[in-house]
Amino acid sequence: MMDLTNPGPGTGSLPPRAHVEDGLPTLSLNGDWRFHYSDSLAQAPEGIESEGFNDVVWDCLPVPSNWNFHGHGAPVYTNVQFPFPLDPPFVPDANPVGDYRLAFEVGAEFLAGALLRFDGIDNAGTVWLNGALLGTTRGSKLPAEFDVSGLLRLGTNVLVVRVAQFSAASYLEDQDAWWLPGIFRDVTLLAHPAGAVRDVFVHAGYTAAGTGTLRVELDPPMPGAKVEIPALGFKAPLNGAALQGTALDVGVVKPWSAESPSLYELRISTPAQTLRLNVGFRTITVQDAQIKLNGVPLLFRGVNRHEHNPDLGRTVPAEQVLRELKLMKQHNINAIRTAHYAPHPFLLQAADELGFYIIDECDYETHGFEDGQWAGNPSAEPQYRAALLDRMQRLVERDKNHPCVIMWSLGNESGKGENLAAMAEWTKARDPERLVHYEGDWACPYVDVYSRMYLKPADVELIGRQEESPLPDAIQDTHRRNLPFILCEYVHSMGNGPGGLQEYQDLFDKYPRLQGGFVWEWIEHGIRQHTPDGEAYFAYGGDFGEKVHDGNFVIDGMISADLDPRPGLLDYKKVVEPLALSVSHDWRTLTVRNKYDFLDTSHLAFIWRVESASGRITHGTLLVPVTAAGEQTGVVLPLEVHAELAAQRVLTISAVLATDQPWAPAGHEIAWTQQGSPQAPRPALLAHGAPDIARQGHVLSFGPATFSLMTGELSSFKGIALNGPRLTLWRSPTDNDNGKDHAQPGSPRPATTWEDAGLPLLEGRLQSMAHDAGELHVRVRYGVPVARHHVDVDYLWRTDGTAMELSANLTPSTGWGRTWPRVGFDFQLPGEFSQASWTGFGPGQKYPDTGMAAQLGWFSASLEELEVPYVRPQENGARAGVSQLQLATERGGGQSLTFQGTDFSFTLRPWSQEVLSAARHTPDLVADGISYLTLDAAVHGIGTASCGPGVLPPYQLAPAPLSFKVLLS
């Protein structure tokens, strides 16, 4: 019987050690295993550990995998709350159990000694080999190794593992992710004969003189061992002083950094084997309240990364990891926090090579205890200390040789307690050359970095100025004020957003103490599902019948579950550009400010182009002097650039990779800037006298248009069915609209406020409609059921017989709430109008506090391309700063309509706001043969209130009088 209520660590496993290529034989035990699923431990079969147990009728299950993805049980998503009663160390009787059996063949090379390694079992495992109990595992995302020497035999061996989904250890893994059980990482047999090296710890430092230092800890010490770095011509025996831990001088080296990840192969030779590992020479310190690498302050352009695959769960192929990291590099990201557990070892290997700063986080979070005022929290409970120290030790020992790891994190959102202090104390004693991070104890008594989450920019600025509220203890307060500051989570990237990225980055650039942040989060955790007719969509919490779940809060990433960048990632790339480029208004000079920490600009090429409505006019390359990190250069632009300065032209200058890099080809854009304007003056109507006016039934003909005498709305234009305009103040709530502003505790959700104000139910009542001197005057009062507040809109139509000019003047009454989501005018067109071309910002969406990636220019997109397919449908796809919009029935021909104005936004969709607001998943969005166009005169920002501050004041839309003018042709 499994003991699932023991709060201690696993049993029977060996002391943790580093993952190192040691030159000895290995055998992967990944593949198809026999598998049996039970709803509870009481229902699980008995005697499975016996070699003679009959498993022929069992299913087959691939290892590694999460069994939920193979037809057994169901995924469960929670953020803070546990999916079972909070009653540590007990777990429910209804606790799914998976039994695994594998028969495998072993050769003679393993009989002199061998280890069995599990890289990840979620949550509690019991392991037998050839009928003998090896031990138990706890700590789902950390390795466990067992000595199987003497138990292995030549030929067939039988390995058996029983896994329970929940145990006392589950109280340590409440990590804002799907609860996914199983053997989800690799299983490996490793030869380990007598005389083999058990472990190695390589300390590779960098000095101010530009030389490298090397200290090697070998366990056990091996007389006769040698260390070698072939690329440096360095060889030394590991004896005498070296065996006692004295640092050796290896001469001049290229230092490692995320910008220039120089690695050297290091070899350790013993009489029995040769170990190989990559080392990077770097030194991490805290000086002047700054984290410094090799004496240089760092700026983190980071993300939090969970491990997720939409079809495999937490079993993420190496190919995907590599794709993710390359995608990060392509978007100017230089740092990763491994939220909230140790990643698969391959990620750190790739991060060493590609260049990332890693906050390596312990497999620990107890957020669900917060609602009970942290009563019984494992961080403060002595019965959990051994387990927590065990987890920290396994993290550090596994990953200690990776230069990318610059900080150890004790865990996430686990309150306070002496166990955390003990974890920090052990970590600093074992590895004093790296920093210790933990956000949950704001007094920072045992960490090296002051870290917070989701602060509003004003509070971040106070910390940058070292003017934050003091701690009661003066000594602790002084200690904290001398610590560097990071936002380990910020700008929550859920659905449409995040808004306000630039405000944070401006503070990071301004105050040296503020060393950047880590966006929450990198990847959405959608699970791919299909409707009965085969349409794919991504599922979230509650879609699998869970009684306890946190809905779509698991869909909060800068890339989709299948790695498609969201608009927020494109904005982040722009905001964190490592170069600041700016062009003078006369197109004569370019200023280049190098914001890299280490690199000069020699790896970049600079290109320019000038465009107009007819396309690219001319382009070329620029000669920019090599600019050192932190320096600024001014460049006089060639006369051929200045000569192109004219109205309705845009100059774009880009810094691109000059040569291929491991993560992107030559020509990949790193940074850009623009100058100029694509906007043409709004054309005026031609004076052709009074238009033809006729009345027939409930229809008024006015020049080229017809109007409904019942509503005052346009019903056709030049024979094209065109209904509108109709005032709208509503938008389908974004995830941020549905959030609570962390900067204003107790404030209502914006979407709730807008719904309570009746904005989705806004109705118009025609008050008057009259024509005079060739003008059509329409007054409509818009109100909502029950309430007395209203908005009066005076529409003025003029025509020259060909085009129509609309002027709308909006006057709100008192009694509205603090904000509106938009002031827009809805039109309906035949669904054939599915192509849009516009002048303004593009090609992607832009809202008042988002869309930094949008460029000025001339763009075209299909109706489908205009949409952003967020997993939970919501407001999306607005194009802003528009001066001209043309809608056509097909590319390059057919009927068209053109709207010309000044600085308006538009959305175009094949479904209504009502359908968009009601949809829970993308298949709920069904086109109805109508194209729904909204022209926005003003738009409320997006913010990050899904988990963080709401819309900042400059981007809030308050009810107020407003005018809007557009020319229709």
Write the pLDDT tens digit of every residue in 491-509.
999 999 999 999 999 999 9
pTM above 0.85, yes or no: yes
Closest-CA residue to 181 (of 125, 136, 123): 123
The one-letter amino acid at 447: V
Q: What residue spans define the domains of the chain?
A: 26-191, 209-285, 297-573, 578-677, 693-968
Question: Would you say residue 910 has pLDDT above 70?
Answer: yes
209-285 and 578-677, same CATH topology: yes
Q: What is the mean pLDDT of residues 662-687?
A: 88
The predicted pLDDT at position 689 comes to: 66
Burial of 770 (0-12, 13-18, 19+ CB in 10 A): exposed
Can you read off the two tokens belonging to residue 562? 């299948």
Give the pairing of strands 405-409 and 435-437.
parallel
Residue 89 phi, psi dihedral angles, 5° rounding: -95, 20
Give the sign of the dihedral formed by CA 931, CA 937, CA 940, CA 942. Answer: positive
Q: What percent of the chain has pLDDT over 70?
A: 99
The residues pairing with 229 across neighbouring beta strands, listed in sequence order, are 234
Can you read off the two tokens belonging to residue 568? 């927020």
| Calpha distance 102→96 (Å, rounded) | 20
The one-letter amino acid at 411: G
The one-letter amino acid at 547: K
Residue 891 phi, psi dihedral angles, 5° rounding: -65, 125
The string of pLDDT tens digits covering residues 765-788 is: 999 999 988 899 999 999 999 889
Helical residues (DSSP H) of 254-337, grouped into ranges: 318-330
Distance of CA 532 to the CA centre of its chain: 31
Catalytic residue among 145, 307, 413, 611: 413
- 78-82, 222-226, 568-572: which range is least confident on average? 222-226
Q: What is the mean pLDDT of residues 459-473?
A: 96
Residue 418 zone, left/alpha/beta (φ > 0; ψ -120 to 50; rest): alpha
- Whether the CB-CB separation of 436 and 427 falls below 8 Å is answered with yes
The predicted pLDDT at position 94 comes to: 95
The one-letter amino acid at 539: A
Distance of CA 4 to the CA centre of its chain: 34
Can you read off the two tokens belonging to residue 779? 């007054």
Which residues of 525-667 form beta strands (DSSP E)?
527-530, 536-539, 579-583, 589-594, 604-612, 615-622, 632-636, 649-657
- Whether the CB-CB separation of 704 and 799 falls below 8 Å is answered with yes
Q: What is the mean pLDDT of residues 279-288?
A: 98
Question: Would you say residue 74 has pLDDT above 70?
Answer: yes
Question: Would you say residue 681 has pLDDT above 80?
Answer: no
Contacts 24+ apart (CB under 8 A), 542-546: 542/77, 544/74, 544/75, 544/76, 545/74, 546/74, 546/76, 546/77, 546/83
CA separation (Å) from 665 to 326, 604, 657, 668?
11, 12, 7, 6
- Where residue 679 falls among pLDDT bands split at 50, 70, 90? confident
Q: What percent of the chain has pLDDT over 90?
A: 91
CA angle 784, 787, 789 (to 5 degrees): 80
The one-letter amino acid at 533: D
Which residues of 90-186 form beta strands (DSSP E)?
97-106, 114-118, 121-122, 124-129, 132-137, 144-147, 155-164, 173-174, 177-179, 182-183
CA separation (Å) from 233 to 228, 260, 264?
8, 21, 11
Question: Would you say residue 687 has pLDDT above 80?
Answer: no
Determine the CATH number of domain 693-968.
Answer: 2.70.98.10
Q: Is 413 a catalytic residue?
A: yes
The predicted pLDDT at position 765 comes to: 96
Q: What is the mean pLDDT of residues 392-407?
A: 99
Give the pairing of strands 435-437 and 234-237.
unpaired
CA separation (Å) from 182 to 123, 541, 747?
7, 19, 41
Q: Give the CATH fold of the 209-285 domain.
A: Immunoglobulin-like (2.60.40)
Question: Would you say residue 882 has pLDDT above 60?
Answer: yes
Mean pLDDT of the chain: 95
The predicted pLDDT at position 346 comes to: 98
Question: Would you say residue 514 has pLDDT above 70?
Answer: yes
Residue range 297-573 in CATH 3.40.50.720: no
Can you read off the two tokens belonging to residue 657? 């990779």
Residue 773 zone, left/alpha/beta (φ > 0; ψ -120 to 50; rest): left
| Calpha distance 334→357 (Å, rounded) | 6
Question: Would you say residue 244 has pLDDT above 70?
Answer: no
Catalytic residue among 489, 524, 611, 805: 489
Question: Would you say residue 742 has pLDDT above 80?
Answer: no
Question: Would you say residue 688 has pLDDT above 80?
Answer: no
Q: Is 763 a catalytic residue?
A: no
Residue 789 phi, psi dihedral angles, 5° rounding: -65, 150
Cα end-to-end span (Å), the chain: 79
Give the pairing of strands 604-612 and 536-539.
unpaired
CA separation (Å) from 67 to 127, 300, 799?
18, 37, 67
Q: Which helix (H) or strand (E) holds 865?
A: helix 863-866
Can you read off the two tokens belonging to residue 935? 């022209």
Give the pairing of strands 335-337 and 357-361.
parallel
- Where residue 242 falls among pLDDT bands split at 50, 70, 90? low
Can you read off the two tokens belonging to residue 233? 């011509």
The predicted pLDDT at position 757 comes to: 92
Torsion of CA 153, 154, 156, 160, to 10 degrees: 30
- Whether the CB-CB separation of 553 and 494 falls below 8 Å is answered with yes
The predicted pLDDT at position 404 comes to: 99
The string of pLDDT tens digits covering residues 558-609 is: 999 999 999 999 999 999 999 999 999 999 999 999 999 999 999 999 999 9
Question: Would you say residue 532 has pLDDT above 90?
Answer: yes
Can you read off the two tokens belonging to residue 740? 């609570």
- Count CB atoms within 10 A of the CB of residue 831: 15
CA angle 867, 869, 875 (to 5 degrees): 65
Rg of the chain in Å (alpha carbons): 32
- Where residue 316 falls among pLDDT bands split at 50, 70, 90? very high
Q: Give the CATH fold of the 26-191 domain.
A: Jelly Rolls (2.60.120)
Upper half-sphere CA count for residue 309 (Cβ side, 13 Å): 18
Question: Would you say residue 892 has pLDDT above 60?
Answer: no
CATH superfamily of 578-677: Immunoglobulins (2.60.40.10)
- Where residue 852 falls among pLDDT bands split at 50, 70, 90? very high
The string of pLDDT tens digits covering residues 18-72 is: 999 999 999 999 999 999 999 999 999 999 999 999 999 999 999 999 999 999 9
Question: Would you say residue 1 has pLDDT above 70?
Answer: no
The string of pLDDT tens digits covering residues 265-278 is: 999 999 889 999 99
The one-letter amino acid at 698: H
- Whether the CB-CB separation of 276 and 267 falls below 8 Å is answered with yes
The predicted pLDDT at position 628 comes to: 98
The predicted pLDDT at position 93 comes to: 95
Give buried/exposed letters for 537-571 (b at 16+ CB in 10 A, else e): bbbbbbbbebeebbbbbbbbbbbbbeeebbbbbbb
